[in-house]
Amino acid sequence: MHKNKSNKILNTKLDAVSLSLKQSIKNLDSYTHVRGESLYVDDVNIRQGTFHAVVFDSPKAHGKIKHIDYSKAEALEGVERIFTYKDVPGENEIGGIIPDEPLFAEHDVHFWGMPIALIVAESEFIARKARGLIEIEIEDLPVITTAKEAKAKGSFINAPRSFSLGDTEKAFTDCDYVFEGETFSNGQEHLYIEAQGAYAEPLENGNIKVTSSTQGPTSVQKTIAQVLGIAMHKIEVDVTRLGGGFGGKEDQATPWAVMAALATHHLNQSVKLILNRHDDLRMTGKRHPYESTYKIGLSKDLKILAYQTEFLQNSGAAADLSPAIAERTLFHATNSYYVPNVTTKVLSCKTNLPPNTAFRGFGGPQGMFVIESAIAKAASEIGVSARQIQEANLLDENDTFSYGQIAKKVEAKNTWHSAKNIFNSEALEQEVADFNKNNTAFKKGLSFMPITFGISFTNTPMNHARALVHIYLDGSVGISTAAVEMGQGVNTKMMQIAADVFSIPIDKIKIETTNTTRVANTSPSAASSTADLNGKATLMACNALVERLKLVASEDLNVSEKDINLKDESVFINDKPSELSWTELISSAMLKRVALTENAHYATPEIHFDKTKEKGHPFAYHVYGTAITTVTVDCTRGTYEFDSVKIVHDYGKSMSEGIDLGQVEGALIQGIGWMTMEEIAYNDEGKLLSNALSTYKIPDIFSVPKSVEVIPVETEGNDMAILKSKAVGEPPLMYGIGAYFALQNAIKAFNSNYDLEFHAPMTPEKVLMGLYNN
Amino acid sequence: MITFILNNKIIKTSEHSGMTLLDFVRYQQRLTGTKIGCREGDCGACTLLVGTLTNDIIEYQSITSCISPLGNAHGKHIVTVEGTNLKNKLTTAQEAMRANYATQCGFCTPGFVVALTGFALLNSENNYNNAIDAISGNICRCTGYKAIEKAAHQVVEKLEHQEKTSLKWLIDNEFIPEYFETIPQRLKDIEGRYLNQPKGKYVSGGTDLYVQKADHLADNDVHLIAEKDYLKGITIENGICMIGTNTTVSDLWNHKALNHSLPNLKKHLKLVSSEQIRNMASLGGNLVNASPIGDMTIFLLALNSDITILNSKQQERTVALKNFYQGYKTYDLKSDELLKEISFKLPTKASSFNFEKVCKRTHLDIASVNSAVHFSVENETFSEAHVSIGGVAAIPKYLHNTSTFLTGKPLTLETILDASNQLQKEITPISDVRGTSDYKRLLARQLFFAHFTELFPNNFTLNDFIQHA
C-alpha cells in the first residue's frame, strides 16, 4: 500500500491492516490451488466408458419448433444417443420458484440458447460435431428483448411487488424540490472462470451420484429426482469446490447436472457435461438489466422527504430467481438513507432473453443505482454536490426502513465520517478541483458511495444450516456442512471455528466436500450468509462435543467439569494443563462409548417477514460502509483510469482479515466492472452479441484502481454474525457504483453542457460521447 | 512422431499435430492443473511455458495452450504447473500467491503461477512492470488483482539484484525444481528437428485460427510453419527493416535496434493483446487474418510496408501492403502462396511514428478504433505522410487521400483540421459490438488529433483542436 506523507491517522491505520494481514489465517485451500492440485468437477477422475455430452440449443429467441431432424447427428460414428423432452420419465420442469421452465424445449422456444436436446457421445468433440449436423426449422414469433417492451405488452413473470412507508404522494407536495428521471443498468455476465458442468455416475439399484459445480446441491438433487420421477434419496450430489460462482451457479448449475443424470439414468453409464465458454455465455442468464423511473423530493435543507420509484426488471424467459431478486431490489431501494416517505414498485418483466439470475448483490445493486442517480440528478439541478445530499440523509439508529425493520447498531454515519476523516476527503476534493483547473486534456472526478446491505435470505424459511462433525478416534476431525467453497474462504472459516473450540491445530481438521448424503435439505451457498449459517451450526456441533468431552475429562481427572477447559491440545484444569492430552481424551471417550459425532442445526432467530403486508424484520443485521472513488479521464480518447478507491468498511470483528479483505477488493472490482466496461449486448432478434471473452470484457490487472485502501471501522460486531465477524460476500460490490458517478463528475468538469444520463455501464464510448456532446 | 519434454518426461506421440496442446496435456496426460477457461486465449487459465533451445541456451516463454497446436511443441520443453512443483513445499511464486491471499476460488491460479514462474525464467529486467506484463494475459474474477499485485511484488523482491537468473540460481532459490538443469542436454538429444508436415492449412502461431476454428484444425491436416527458418528473422540494412512473417510480436518487442528506431515500440506493443499471445502471434498471421482492426496490420500500413509473397514454385513477388486488401477478409494471395517477408523504411530522426488504440479495456482487447501515422516533417512541412486506421471500414485502411493531402502541407492547425475532415470522408464505420458508427467517427477524429498532441506536444494541445473542430 502507498503511504501518504501527510496523513498520520491513515498511515497508522494502514500499518495496522498490514500487520493483521501478516498474522491472519491464510486460505486453507491455497496450498493445493497454487500447485494446481485442487480438484474441480472437470478434474475428478472419470470411470472407464464415460460418455461426454453437449447441449443442442435454440438458434432463435422465440418461435414454434416446426421440425427437427436428428438423423445425421445420430448416424455419426461415436454418437451414443440424443435425448429430448420425450426421454424425461418424470416432469420436464426445473423452475425453482415458479414452475415455468422446461428442462428441454417441447414445442416452443423462448430464448436463444434454450436447451432442446442433449447429444451424448464417446467424446465431447464428436458430440459437438454431431450438433452441427442437427437440422431445425423454427417458425418465428415476436421477440421481446427489453423490459419496457414487455411491460407495454403486459408480459410479466408474476404480480408486481410494492413497498411503502409514510405518505409519499402527500410528501411530494411539501417538497421544495422535486425531480424525476429514468435510469438503466445493464446486466452482467458472471464469468466464473470455471464454466458450468456436472459429472453423473450410476450406482446400484438405479441410484445416481452427481458431482456438480453448484452453489445449491439440494436444489440439484431435488430437481433431478423430479425430472427422473424418482425419490430424492436415490440421488447423491457431491460438490468438491467451484471455480467461481457469484450467484451464477445458485440456480443455473442445475440443468446441466439434471441432463447428465438423465443420460446416466437411461444409459447406465457415467456421463460428463461441461459447457464450453460460448455455450455457457449463450445459454445461461446473467445479472438482470433494470429500466427504472424515479421521483425524488427534497426540502431546502437537502433532506429527502419523498422517494418514489418503479423498477422494470428484465427477468428473461422464465422466473428462475427473479421474484426473489426483485424483492431485494425493493429492500435496498433507499440504500443508506432514511427517507420517511417511500413508495417502490418492481415488475418482473418476461422477455426472450435467457432467464436472468442471481449475481452478487441479488438485485440490491440495481436498486441502489437508481437512488444514487436520483441524488446525482437532484444535486446537479440544485447546484450542490451529491455528497451534501448523501450526507444529509444517512441512516440513524432507530430509523425505519420501508419494509418496517427498525435500524439497529447502525454504522452508516460512522463509516461515512470515518472515511471523511481518515482519508481527509476535503483535501482530496481540493486536489481534484485544482487538477481540473490546471488541465484540459485530463479531468478528474470524485464520488462518495455509502452502502447498507441486509444480511439473511429474504425468504425467511431458507435461513438455516446444519453441520456434521466427526472426531475420529485418533483425535483428527472431519467437518461436513452445507457450505460450498467457491473462493469465498468458507472452508477456512469453518476450520477456524473448530480449531478454536477444540483448541487443536488446523492440520488436525479436514473440511469435507459438500454432499447431500451427509448434510441434507440445505439452502444454497448464497446471500452472503454461508459462513454465518454454517458457522453457527458448526459452532453448535463443536460446543456440544466439547460439553460431552468435558464430562469424560471430569471423570478421568476427578474434578468438576466446570473447571475443565480444552486448550493447546490438552485438557486444562482451570488454567493449568493436566496430564490428559486431546488424543488421550478422545481415546477415553471411545472406551466410555461416548458419541464423537454431532449434528447441529442452526436457524437464524428473530427474523420474519410478512409478504401480505410487505413488512417485517427480514434481516439478521446490516453491513455498512463508505467508499471514495477518484478517476482520471483522458479527454482526448475517452478512456479512464481509477486513481484510488478509499473505503471504510464494517467487518464487525473480522475472524479472517486476509480472506475478508479479498472479498471486499474482489467485490469492488466486480462492481466497477459492472459500472464501466462490462457490456452485455443482444441484438433485436435476441441473439447475444457479447458472446465470447473477446467481446465481453471484465477487468484485467491494468484496469483496476491504482490504489485500493480498505480500513475497518471499529465496531462491536454483531452477535447474529459468526463470532461477530460480519458477512462480507456481497455488500462491497456496491462500492463499485461510485465508479459511475466519479466518471460522470469528470465528464462534467470537461463539458459543462453535459446532460446527466444514467445509463450504465459507463464505457469509454459513453464517456467520449459525453465529453463531446453539446 | 511429435517429440518433446513435458515437465520431466519425454513424450513421443503420434496424436494429430493440430489438436490443441491444452487438450493433450489435460486429457491425454491428465495434468489437470492446466485449466480451461475460454479456449480463445483471453483468460490465461491454460498458460504453459515453452522452453526453446537455441545455441545451447534455453529460453522460456509463456503461451496460452488452448490456441496452440500440439505440433508446435515438437523439440521443446513444455512446463505445466505440475512441472514447477517442488516436493512438499511451495515454490517462490506459489508462496507469494498464498501468502498474499492472491488465490480465492483457485481456478485461474495455476495460470498466474506458471506465468510468474515464466517471468523469473525470462531473461529480462526483474522489475515490477515486467512481472505485471508477464501476467497481462491472466484474468482473475475473484480477487480484484490487488492481492496478485502484492504477490508480484514479492516475487520481484526475491529476484532483485540478480543480473541474470541462471537455472542454477533459480533452483537454489526455489523458483523451479532441480530437473530443469537437465533439460537443455535432453532437448539436444531429441532427434529430428523438423516434423514431417502434411499438406493442409498453414498455421504459424495459431492465435487467430484456433480462436476461429479449433475443431476444424483438430480434425483436418495442418501444415505448421512456425519453425520454418526462411520465414524468420529481423534484419536491418540501409534503414530498411525486413521481417520474416513468422516473427512474433514478442520478437519485435525484444529487438534492440527496432526499439531504437521506434522508441515507443514497447508502449505501443503493450496495447497488442497479452504477453502470452504476443509470444505466439506471428506478423504474417495478423496480415492474412485481414481483420479490419488488426493492430499489427494498422502498424505496418502506416510504415508503408511492402510484403514479399512466395509461391509453391519458389517464385517471389512484392506487393505494397496498402494495396493488398481488396474487401472484407479478401486479399491478393493465391492458394499456393505464402507471405514471406515484410519490409519498410525505418523512421529516422526527421520522421516520427505513433500508434493509438482505444477499446473497452485498454489491454488484451480488440480496438473500437486503432490508428497509426508515420510523418516526415522538414522545415515545418510534411515531406511524407502515411496514415492508417482500423475499425472504420471493411479492411484495415491505409488512408490514401488523407496521407496525400498532408504531404507537402505545412504543419499547422489548419492543415490538421482539414486533414481530419478528409479522414472523415474516407471512413465508413458501422455500428457493432465495438461501438456505434457515431462513436467510431468521433473516436477516429480524436485519435487523429492524439497523433499530433503525442508527436508535436509543443505545437498542439487538445484544446487547440476541440475549439476549432
Grid cell digits, residue A415: 463509516
A631 is a domain residue:
yes
Number of domains in chain A: 2
- A539 within a domain of the structure (yes/no): yes
Residues A418 and A525 in one domain: no
Helix axes A737-750, A764-772, angle to 10 degrees: 30
Rounded CA separation B395/B33 (Å): 40
Q: Clarify whether residues A555 and A653 are in a common domain.
A: no
What CATH number is attached to the domain comprising A657?
A: 3.30.365.10
| Domain range enclosing A746 | 1-38+406-459+615-774
A314 touches A151 (CB < 8 A): no
Closest CA to A217 of A192, A191, A253, A243: A253
Nearest CB among A39, A659, A690 relative to B101 is that of: A659
Rg (CA), chain B: 23
Whether A563 is in a domain gets the answer yes
**pLDDT value at position A3?**
55
Nearest to B465 by CA among B448, B404, B388: B448
Share of chain A above pLDDT 70, in %: 99
Summarised one tens digit per residue, pLDDT across range A726-768 is 999 999 999 999 999 999 999 999 999 999 999 999 999 999 9
In a shared domain, residues A555 and A516: yes
Q: Which class is B92-176 in CATH?
A: mainly alpha
Q: Residue B459: is its pLDDT beyond 80?
A: yes
In-domain check, residue A233: no
| pLDDT tens, position by position, B203-222 | 999 999 999 999 999 999 99
Query: Does the residue A583 lie in any domain?
Result: yes
Instruction: Answer yes or no: is A263 within a domain.
Output: no
CB-CB neighbours of A212 under 10 Å: 32
Q: Check: CB of residue B66 under 8 Å from CB of residue B22.
A: yes
Using a CB–CB cutoff of 8 Å, tell me whether A438 touches chain B. no
Nearest of A184, A188, A183, A185 to residue A673 by alpha carbon: A188
Cell numbers describing residue A678? 462490462
Confirm whether A446 is domain-assigned. Answer: yes
Average pLDDT, chain B: 96
* Same domain assignment for residues A646 and A592: no
> How far are the Cα atoms of A282, A676, A678, B12, B442 from residue B438, in angstroms, in the given order?
28, 20, 20, 55, 6
> Do A633 and A735 have their domain in common?
yes
How much helix, strand and coil, in percent to the nearest 5, is found in chain A? 35, 25, 40
Q: A512-522, pLDDT tens digit by residue?
A: 999 999 999 99
DSSP A688: B
CATH 1.10.150.120 domain position(s) in chain B: 92-176
pLDDT of residue B165: 66
CATH homologous superfamily of B2-84+181-224: Beta-grasp domain (3.10.20.30)
Do both A625 and A773 map to the same domain? yes
pLDDT band for A683, please (50, 70, 90 cuts).
very high
Q: How far A639 CA lies from chain B's nearest CA (Å)? A: 7
**What integer pLDDT is reported at residue B135 of this predicted model?**
98
What ipTM was assigned to the predicted interfaces of this complex?
Answer: 0.97
- The greatest distance separating any two alpha carbons of chain A, rounded to the nearest whole angstrom, comes to 87
Looking at the fold, whether A650 and A696 belong to one and the same domain comes out as yes
Contact A692 B40 (CB under 8 A): yes
pLDDT band at A1 (very low <50, low <70, confident <90, very high): very low
Residues A653, A719 within the same domain: yes
Q: Are strands B77-79 and B47-54 parallel, antiparallel or unpaired?
A: antiparallel
Cα radius of gyration (chain A): 27
H or E element that contains A16: helix A8-23
* Chain A interface mutation, best of B150, B174, B360, B466, highest count of A Cβ atoms under 10 Å: B360
pLDDT 10s digits, B351-376: 999 999 999 999 999 999 999 999 99
Confidence of residue B195 (pLDDT cuts 50, 70, 90): confident
Q: For position A318, what pLDDT does the model report?
A: 98
| pLDDT tens, position by position, B427-442 | 999 999 999 999 999 9
Asked if residues A374 and A292 have their Cβ atoms less than 8 Å apart, the reply is: no
Instruction: Among A603, A636, A651, identify where a domain stops.
Output: A603
Structural domain includes residue A172: no
pLDDT tens, position by position, B379-431: 999 999 999 999 999 999 999 999 999 999 999 999 999 999 999 999 999 99
A702 touches chain B (CB under 8 A): yes
Quick one: A727 and A769 in the same domain?
Answer: yes
Kindly report, as residue ranges, where domains of CATH 3.30.465.10 are found in chain B. Answer: 229-468
B451 to chain A: nearest residue by CA? Answer: A636
Chain B contact present for A706, CB below 8 A: no
Q: Is A486 on the interface with B (CB under 8 A)?
A: yes
Mean model confidence pLDDT for chain A: 97
d(Cα A339, Cα A305) in Å, to the nearest integer? 6
pLDDT tops 90 at residue A717: no
Mean pLDDT of the A687-703 span: 97
Q: Indicate whether A652 and A761 sit together in one domain.
A: yes
Residues A445 and A482 in one domain: no
Interface test with B, best of A126, A701, A743, A769 (most B CBs within 10 A): A701
Residue A456 has pLDDT above 80, yes or no: yes
- A762 and A660 share one domain: yes
- pLDDT tens, residue by residue, B93-145: 999 999 999 999 999 999 999 999 999 999 788 899 999 999 999 999 999 99
A541, A576, A603: which is the final residue of a domain? A603
Q: Provide the CATH number for the domain formed by B229-468 in this structure.
A: 3.30.465.10
Put simply, whether A736 touches B (Cβ < 8 Å) is: no
**Over pLDDT 70: what percentage of chain B?**
99
- Summarize the confidence of residues B278-303 as an average pLDDT: 97
pLDDT of A103 over the 50 cut? yes
Grid cell listed for A382: 440544485
* pLDDT band, residue A539 (cuts 50/70/90): very high
Q: In this prediction, what percent of chain A has a pLDDT beyond 90?
A: 98
Kindly state the DSSP code that residue B85 receives in the 8-state scheme: P
Helix (H) or strand (E) holding B295: helix B295-302
SS3 B101: coil
Q: Count Cβ neighbours within 10 Å for each residue of B282-292 and write b for 16 or more, e otherwise.
A: bbbbbbbbbbb
> What's the confidence (pLDDT) of residue A4?
62
Chain A residues close to B219, C-beta within 8 Å: 125, 129
pLDDT tens per residue across span A368-378: 999 999 999 99
Q: What are the helix (H) ranges across A385-438?
A: 386-392, 412-422, 425-438
Indicate where chain B has its CATH 3.10.20.30 domain(s): 2-84+181-224
Last residue of a domain, one of A603, A625, A654: A603
Nearest to A638 among B97, B219, B358 (CB): B358
Asked if the Cβ–Cβ distance from B461 to A681 is below 8 Å, we say no
- In the numeric block, the cell 487538477 is attached to A435
Task: List all residues of chain A from 349 to 408 with a beta carbon under 8 Å from chain B.
Answer: none
Q: How long, in residues, is chain B?
A: 469
